[in-house]
Amino acid sequence: MKVVVDEEKCCGAGTCVLLAPDVFDQRDEDGIVILLDERPGEGLHKIVREAASVCPGAAITVSENA
Amino acid sequence: MPQSHTDPLPRFPFGAEAALEPPAEWAEFRDKCPVARVALASGDEAALITRYDDVKSVLSDPRFTRPTAADNAARVADTESGGVFNSEMASVLPQHGEDHLTWRRMIGKWFTAKRMNALRPGMAAMAGRLIDEMVAKGAPGDLKAGVAFPLPVWVICDMLGVPDTDRERFAHWSDVMLSMTRYTQEEFDAAQTEFGRYMGGHIAAKRAEPGDDILSALIADGAGWSDAKLAATGIGLLIAGHETTANMIAKMVAMLLADRSRWEELLADPSLVRTAVEESLRLDANAGVGMQRFITEEFELSGTVLPPGTTAMCSMAAANRDERAFEHAADMDLGRSPNPHLAFGAGAHACLGQPLARTELQVVLEVLLRELPSLELAVPAAELRPVEGLAVGGLRELPVRW
């Protein structure tokens, strides 16, 4: 799995960080997403997919076979 | 429903039969007339959007903007100025593009997930104290007045650096400013002026003596924000930070107790708290009016062409029950995951405080399950009464026993 985030689309709602704090974080200065782990381990795949699907800005893309 | 030209337009929001059940019109409109002409409380016409994909498109598309006074958009309230979305407060804050983004990011850093997690222990302790006070007064108690309302007020006041002992005052101003049918223009203007003066007083005090709070920080690094902009920001955060969450805590607990097998499922497996909170947000049948958007060009939605100058009224609550988006959409599934509901909106204007609301809802539910496992409704669910005439929905009270 490969994760990509789009800072331009991110609205800083922090939904991904609440779900998967090992994969996503937010910049202290404005709350915009920081990707900590672009290839998360298998144990995190389900929650990362969930983070992508509930992101209010549609700023997270997950490629399953990359 | 499709109408002839002589029929009056259906009034929106629709009346609800019961506080926890959705108006029957939501399903009818989603199925038969997903983009419908309706009349708001002002009498102004809007296009009501009820399907999930359509609501998400409108909220996420930058061509749809928040209406400003100059747009002459449909107004949600029956006062001349048209209510909170058309208020002076709304006009002082940047609503579009780069200015909005800058404003939002300056506030956003106070609502990061990290900060919210740091607030958890304090919230849990406060929830525990409030529950103890309610219990000490004896059953039945009103969980809304005792816990659901004071908890988020205390949290947002602490973040803003204003005393939560003033909560009855600003709860009144907030009610008036969120009214769609309950107050006159004079009352609206008076509430806005008094609230502005109150917030202005706090801003002056913080200019003189800064504290560790959002208002002080915005004064320090707000690049010379005017007092009007600071006050509008403070009022906006105070209203948004307590009214919605206070109501949602009460509605969530009511939904979970209305069918007590839900409460028991959570007692047996508290790890369901997170998904149960999301499912409660999704199924909120009394969420309020929805979100208004304005468009200056043609736009096609579900086969209907919206003409330029259309005010779209997005019903996120109706969209959240769309069978096209959620399996068994009418059922409450406490483990539903993923749950991409639209209770907080979507796109550039998605709720800024959503991590705060989520954290508060999760913490209060965890503490209630732990401290009051025997909690139950003290009246039949059908007798719970909704608040009427405000842009934000809720229950008037939540009588409980334990």
Residues B205-225 have pLDDT tens digits of 999 999 999 999 999 986 788
Nearest chain A residue to B347, by CA: A57
Task: Inform me whether the C-beta atom of residue A30 falls under 8 Å from chain B C-beta atoms.
Answer: yes
Q: How far is CA B226 from the centre of its chain?
A: 27
pTM of the model: 0.94
> How many Å lie between the alpha carbon of B342 and the closest alpha carbon of chain A?
8
Q: How far is CA B272 from the centre of its chain?
A: 23
Write the pLDDT tens digit of every residue in B289-323: 899 999 999 999 999 999 999 999 999 999 999 99
Q: What is the pLDDT of residue B222?
A: 65
How many CB atoms within 10 Å of residue B303?
A: 7
> How many Å lie between the alpha carbon of B297 and the closest alpha carbon of chain A?
23
Nearest chain A residue to B353, by CA: A13
Task: Inform me whether the C-beta atom of residue A8 falls under 8 Å from chain B C-beta atoms.
Answer: no
- B396: which 2 tokens? 């008037």
Given an 8 Å threshold on Cβ–Cβ distance, is B340 in contact with A54?
A: yes
Q: Which residue(s) pair with B36 in the sheet?
A: B48
Q: What is the pLDDT of residue B177?
A: 86
Do A51 and A15 meet the contact criterion of CB atoms below 8 Å apart?
yes
Task: Inform me whether the C-beta atom of residue A35 falls under 8 Å from chain B C-beta atoms.
Answer: no
Task: Inform me whether the C-beta atom of residue A62 falls under 8 Å from chain B C-beta atoms.
Answer: no
Query: How far apart are the C-alpha atoms of B327 and B125, rounded to whole Å?
Result: 37
Do B299 and B305 meet the contact criterion of CB atoms below 8 Å apart?
yes
Query: How far apart are the C-alpha atoms of B386 and B373, rounded to whole Å?
Result: 25
Q: What is the pLDDT of residue B5?
A: 54
Residue numbers in A near B358 (CB within 8 A) = 15, 18
A14, A27, A32 ranked by CB distance to B111: nearest:
A14
A12, A57, A58 ranked by CB distance to B105: nearest:
A12
> How many Å lie between the alpha carbon of A66 and the closest alpha carbon of chain B?
22
Residue numbers in B near A49 (CB within 8 A) = 338
Query: How far apart are the C-alpha atoms of B302 and B34, rounded to whole Å?
Result: 7
Query: How far apart are the C-alpha atoms of B92 and B215, rounded to whole Å?
Result: 16
| pLDDT tier at B268, thresholds 50, 70, 90 | very high
Given an 8 Å threshold on Cβ–Cβ distance, is B347 in contact with A53?
A: no
How many Å is the maximal CA-CA distance in chain B?
63
**Average pLDDT rounded to a whole number, residues B352-370:** 97
Given an 8 Å threshold on Cβ–Cβ distance, is A56 in contact with B114?
A: no
Contacts of B69 by beta carbon, 8 Å cutoff, 6+ apart = B86, B91
Given an 8 Å threshold on Cβ–Cβ distance, is A14 in contact with B340?
A: no
Given an 8 Å threshold on Cβ–Cβ distance, is A50 in contact with B337?
A: yes
CA torsion through residues B353, B190, B87, B16, sign: positive
Nearest chain B residue to A49, by CA: B338
User: Is B220 exposed, middle or buried, given 0-12, 13-18 or 19+ CB atoms closer than 10 A?
Assistant: exposed
Given an 8 Å threshold on Cβ–Cβ distance, is A12 in contact with B112?
A: yes
Q: Which residue(s) pair with A63 in the sheet?
A: A2
Q: What are residue B65's phi and psi, to 5 degrees?
A: -110, 165
CA torsion through residues B104, B110, B115, B121, sign: negative
Residue numbers in B near A27 (CB within 8 A) = 109
**Burial state string for B154-183 with b = 16 or more CB within 10 A and e = fewer than 16:** bbbbbbbbbebeebeebbebbbbbbbbebb
Instruction: State ipTM.
Output: 0.91
Write the pLDDT tens digit of every residue in B141-153: 999 999 999 999 9
Do B281 and B345 meet the contact criterion of CB atoms below 8 Å apart?
no
Q: What is the interface size between A and B, counted as CB pairs within 8 Å?
A: 82
| pLDDT tier at A7, thresholds 50, 70, 90 | very high
Residue numbers in A near B355 (CB within 8 A) = 13-15, 17-18
Test the B interface: residue of A6, A9, A27, A30 with most B CBs within 10 Å: A30
**Average pLDDT rounded to a whole number, residues B172-177:** 87
Q: Which of B125, B181, B133, B232 is nearest to B12 (CA)?
A: B181
Nearest chain B residue to A48, by CA: B338
Task: Inform me whether the C-beta atom of residue A22 falls under 8 Å from chain B C-beta atoms.
Answer: no
Q: How many residues does chain A have?
A: 66
Q: Which of B285, B327, B283, B350 is nearest to B58 (CA)?
A: B350
How far is CA B118 from each of CA B110, B125, B213, rounded to the nearest angstrom?
12, 13, 15
Q: Which residue(s) pair with B293 in the sheet?
A: B312
> How many Å lie between the alpha carbon of A48 and the closest alpha carbon of chain B?
10
Nearest chain B residue to A47, by CA: B338
Q: Which of B53, B59, B121, B80 is nearest to B312 (CA)?
A: B59
Write the pLDDT tens digit of every residue in B18-50: 899 999 999 999 999 999 999 999 999 999 999
A31, A49, A56 ranked by CB distance to B346: nearest:
A56
Q: What is the pLDDT of residue B265?
A: 98
> How many Å lie between the alpha carbon of A55 and the closest alpha carbon of chain B?
8
Residue numbers in B near A14 (CB within 8 A) = 111-113, 116, 354-355
Does the pLDDT at position B2 exceed 70?
no
